[in-house]
Amino acid sequence: MEDHGPLRSFGRLKSRPIKPRQAALMEALLPEIRVPQEAFDPRALMPGAAEVWLEIGFGGGEHMAAQAARRPEVLVIGAEPFLNGVASAVRHVEEQGLSNVRLHDGDARELLARLPDACLDRAFILFPDPWPKARHHKRRLIQPEVVAELARALKPGGRLRFATDWANYADWTLERVLASGLFRWEAERADDWRRPPLDHITTRYEEKRLGDCAPVFFDFVRR
């Protein structure tokens, strides 16, 4: 990824005071499960991990924690700049006793830049901020340079799942991911993207249906 100066995460990084218990976990547990601040090999974080997954923008951490609990042999790395979401995720990790979760409390693009080539088996981008106004589309996470970085970090055959409940963002993402030539989309019928994948975990945010369409799920495969 080219160096364009410091990255800027748009939107609020904190919305309300963090609850005392979560604040205590942020002080005590987060430093233990935070990913390194320099380039690193994810496999070194959990030797013997069967796979390495990345969730970008994990929100409150519900999906990330549930996937990690379901697959304890998989290292799950999560990235989220929103501090309240990080606090919530740390609580999930502690309450469920998850030893296979590592967190980056910052912009996912910073994390991607520190990952080696072909180190990820799966990546999730679920219901990212849609920035629905046209003048804000440049703030959307899905941009050609991010698609290229995801392709670089994913192994050949690795999978990228994108979900949104905003029709324009669905079209935007499909166009940019396929235009990269780095991924293929294996959907054969409408149900392949209209219905949640079998291993999907619905979160409270998704249930709110804040978008303008029913949830759309795209599973892309790294060429």
What pLDDT sits at residue 54?
A: 98
DSSP letter (8 states) at residue 34: B
Kindly list the domain boundaries of the chain, sorted by start residue.
20-222
Q: Is it the case that residue 90 has pLDDT exceeding 70?
A: yes
d(CA 126, CA 10): 17
pTM for this model (two decimals):
0.92
Q: Which CATH class is domain 20-222?
A: alpha beta
What pLDDT sits at residue 14?
A: 52
d(CA 95, CA 105): 19
What pLDDT sits at residue 4?
A: 38
What pLDDT sits at residue 7?
A: 47
Catalytically active residues are 129
From residue 28, alpha-carbon distances to 34, 91, 94, 97, 98 in Å are: 11, 11, 11, 14, 15
pLDDT tens digits along 13-42: 555 789 899 999 999 999 999 999 999 999
Average pLDDT over residues 202-215: 92
Q: What percent of the chain has pLDDT over 70?
A: 93
Q: Is it the case that residue 182 has pLDDT exceeding 60?
A: yes
Q: Is it the case that residue 2 has pLDDT exceeding 70?
A: no
